[in-house]
Amino acid sequence: MALPLTAGTPVASASAGGKLTKYMEPLPVPGAGIVVATQSGPDAYSFSQTQIARRLHPQLPKTPLWAYDDGSGLGGQAGSFGMAIVAQSGKPLDVQFKHNLPAIYPNWLPVDERLTPLGDQVRLMTHLHGGFVAADSDGSPAVTPNGFGPDDIQAVHYPNDTPAAQLWFHDHGLGTTRLNVIAGLAGAYILRDEFDTGAEPNPIGIPGGAYEIPLVIQDRQFNPDGTFRYPTSDIPGVTWIGEYFGDTMLVNGKVWPYLNVEPRLYRFRFLNGCNARILSLGLGGAPMWQIGAEGGLWDKPVAVRDLVLAPAERADVVVDFRRLAGQTLVIKNSKPTMPVATPAPQLTQVMQIRVGTSVTQPGPSSVPDTLPGRAADLPDPVRTRYITLNEIGTDTNVWYLNLNGLHFDDPVTETPRAGTVEDWVYVNMTGDTHPMHLHLVTFQVVGRTPFDEEAYEAAFGTPTGVPGGNDPAPFATGPMQPPDPTERGFKDTVKVNPGYFTRIRARYVLPAGVTEPQTYVHHCHILEHEDNDMMRPFTVTG
């Protein structure tokens, strides 16, 4: 089958997406537009990363995409987010990813060769986000910085030795994560257990089956030829841009889709899959209870009005449409309120929900009072580390971001001992919120403390930022604020807001049978920041 060749096609300067008619096509869901991956053998999957083309909106030409093919040929993939793995807690999987993409980046993916180990070569590396795996199965730029090239196979082992949760897998190429994810290399990884079976009824008493809907939200721009538009910098010598913001919203890989629902309870599983946009989502008046986040289910539901999700954050939510029969709702995205800060231009409309008038299967009649999950409640730490977030040379040709004033490939400085609990305090020296993500662990959000950033910088600053290791407590300007009610459980990504230092607590346990030392990474999940250079290794030691 011939695919559109885009290398050599001039990239238009204006986006074609913002004027598209909204709510023309149905939301892809697993089994209808999203492929539920088929195993290649017992407890094994064999994917290839490959280029396909799909029409993401009826008024757009087909968009070339990079996709994970499970061997099916992806006839069941409707949009730019098209693959889901369903895994069972306690049941390990062996997974392979074979690079079957072009060797060199096409024009529509503007690589910045200052940031990559091998120039304009397409080097891939799949990371299971939220996975509890050995370092050499993590898809880690600290282990395989050059990634994987054409025809290479990345073979990984996922123990799945954690409770049910909504994970995702996405590319993590060093210096190219923002481009590889824009191109389409992201998929869902739904981990089930004996409580969270996905069926209806289930032991938890929450909606299941066709009434559980993943909602992966990604903002994008388009060129008139249908390719994704990724702008380049207007700074001479620089291609990289500080943040990517789209002017159209894609949900599950389709532009501004609609979803038909019945007037009953649903389970919506939100994932912010944007490169840089922090979402603040409202459901048009439908009552919502959050029941879990990145680390799985909580011990009890929490009523919520707006869901403020930074890139990579997830929210597991029960929504009640029973009083909304016959109505049409819109999921809207508003500007996040302080202290969350982001330079994103407004993009309000997300998707439409059409509530029908009849119910096929009644499902649960109420939201359960208790859940089989956990509130995060770790014991006191044996050690506290202070990690700074710096932005250097903004809007100049040496613009980059860093942690602790160090580059990614400087020697490891964070070395927690296996099995111990540590507090990490992220000290934000920039003007914006950064969603910090740790590989390997899930963590408790302990709290956020306002502080005098200028005085702290005056005391410790250098031309490459404030180094790590300096306790900001003497510079506090108020008491520590407790975590938000939606930060009740274990998380793997936390909003580190400007004007505050943010304390998280984790136990640095390794998977069964994995011996220290093991090196992972922690980084900002704004993909542009991660690519330049807001990422550092850490080593779990003996």
Number of CB atoms found within 10 A of residue 11's CB = 19
Separation of alpha carbons 81 and 258, rounded Å: 16
Nearer to Cu ion, 250 or 524 (CB): 524
- Judged by CB, which is closer to Cu ion: 164, or 310? 310
Cβ neighbour number for residue 360 with a 10 Å cutoff? 10
536 binding Cu ion? (CB under 5 A): no
- Min dist CB 109 to Cu ion, Å, is 21
Cβ closest to Cu ion, residue 178 vs residue 192: 178
| CB 208, CB 267: distance < 8 Å | yes
CA distance 66 to 186: 9
Rounded Cα distance between 361 and 363, Å, is 6
Q: In what order do the strands lie in the sheet with 126-129?
A: 29-30, 33-36, 83-88, 186-192, 165-171, 126-129
Q: Choose which of 57, 254, 314, 434 interacts with Cu ion (CB under 5 A).
A: 434
Give the nearer residue to Cu ion in terms of CB position, either 288 or 534.
534
For residue 280, the minimal CB distance to Cu ion (Å) is: 18
| Residue span binding Cu ion (CB under 5 A) among the ranges 27-35, 203-211, 323-331, 427-435 | 427-435
HSE-up of 372 (CA within 13 Å, CB side)?
14
What does the alpha-carbon distance between residue 527 and residue 244 come to, in Å, rounded to a whole number? Answer: 8
Does position 529 interact with Cu ion (CB under 5 A)? The reply is yes
Shortest Cβ 414–Cu ion spacing (Å): 18
Q: Using CB under 5 A, which of the segments 44-52, 346-354, 432-440, 500-508 binds Cu ion?
A: 432-440
Determine the size of the site formed for Cu ion (CB under 5 A). 4
Kindly tell me which of 437 and 488 has the beta carbon lying closer to Cu ion.
437
Residue of 526, 527, 535, 540 that binds Cu ion (CB under 5 A):
526
Secondary structure of residue 241 in the 3-state scheme: coil
Minimum separation from the CB atom of position 399 to Cu ion (A):
13
- We find the least distance from the C-beta atom of residue 291 to Cu ion, in angstroms, to be 28
Q: Are 500 and 449 in contact, with CB atoms under 8 Å apart?
A: yes
Smallest separation, CB 272 to Cu ion (Å): 14
In the bound state with Cu ion, the residue whose beta carbon lies nearer, of 276 and 514, is: 276
Closest separation between CB of residue 424 and Cu ion, Å? 16
Q: How far is the CB of 527 from Cu ion (least distance, A)?
A: 9
Q: Can you list the positions of beta strands (E) in 419-480?
A: 421-428, 434-438, 443-450
Interacting span for Cu ion (CB under 5 A) from 277-285, 317-325, 513-521, 522-530 = 522-530
For residue 408, what are its two tokens? 């990614």
Select the span of 94-102, 294-302, 324-332, 529-537 touching Cu ion (CB under 5 A).
Answer: 529-537
Measured from the CB atom, the residue of 243 and 422 that comes closer to Cu ion is: 243
Closest CB to Cu ion among residues 275, 352: 275
CB of 499 to Cu ion, least distance (A): 15
Nearer to Cu ion, 97 or 500 (CB): 500
Residues 505 and 423 sit within 8 Å (Cβ to Cβ): yes
Task: Restricting to residues 283-312, name those near Cu ion by CB under 5 A.
Answer: none
CA distance 37 to 40: 9
Q: Is the peptide bond before 517 cis (omega within 30 degrees of 0)?
A: yes
C-alpha triplet 81, 301, 441: angle, nearest 5°: 60
Dihedrals φ, ψ of 241, to 5°? -115, 155
In the complex, least distance from residue 534 CB atom to Cu ion, rounded to whole angstroms: 5
Q: Closer to Cu ion at the Cβ: 57 or 434?
A: 434
With 0-12 / 13-18 / 19 or more C-beta atoms within 10 angstroms meaning exposed / middle / buried, residue 380 is exposed
C-alpha span between 428 and 492 (Å, rounded): 18
The string of DSSP codes covering 57-86 is STTSPPEEEEEEE-SS-STTB-SS--EEEE
Residue closer to Cu ion by CB (options 174, 283) is: 174
The DSSP bridge pattern shows strands 248-251 and 254-255 to be antiparallel
Binding mask 375-414 for Cu ion (x = CB under 5 A): ----------------------------------------
Q: Which stretch binds Cu ion (CB under 5 A): 203-211, 419-427, 497-505, 520-528?
A: 520-528
What Cα–Cα distance (Å) separates residue 334 from each residue in 270, 272, 289, 349, 496?
16, 14, 19, 9, 19
Window 57 to 116, contacts with Cu ion (CB under 5 A) = none
Residue 77, C-beta contacts closer than 8 angstroms, at least 6 positions apart: 33, 34, 35, 52, 54, 67, 83, 253
Residue nearest to Cu ion (CB): 524
CB of 434 to Cu ion, least distance (A): 3
Give the CA angle between residues 535, 539, 542 to the nearest 5°.
170
**Residue range at the interface with Cu ion (CB under 5 A); choices 139-147, 176-184, 468-476, 526-534:** 526-534
Residue 383 near residue 420, CB atoms below 8 Å: yes
User: Judged by CB, which is closer to Cu ion: 112, or 316?
Assistant: 112
Q: How near is the Cβ of 436 to Cu ion at its closest, in Å? A: 8
User: For residues 30 and 435, which CB has a smaller minimum distance to Cu ion in the complex?
Assistant: 435
Shortest gap between Cβ of 536 and Cu ion (angstroms)? 13
**Binder of Cu ion out of 524, 527, 535, 540 (CB under 5 A):** 524
Stretch that binds Cu ion, among 177-185, 209-217, 430-438, 446-454 (CB under 5 A): 430-438
Distances (CA, A) of 326 to 263, 267, 363, 372: 8, 19, 19, 34
Pick between residue 85 and residue 526 the one whose CB is nearest to Cu ion. Answer: 526
Query: Measured between alpha carbons, how far is 504 from 34 in angstroms, rounded to an integer?
Result: 35
Contacting residues toward Cu ion, per CB under 5 A? 434, 524, 526, 529
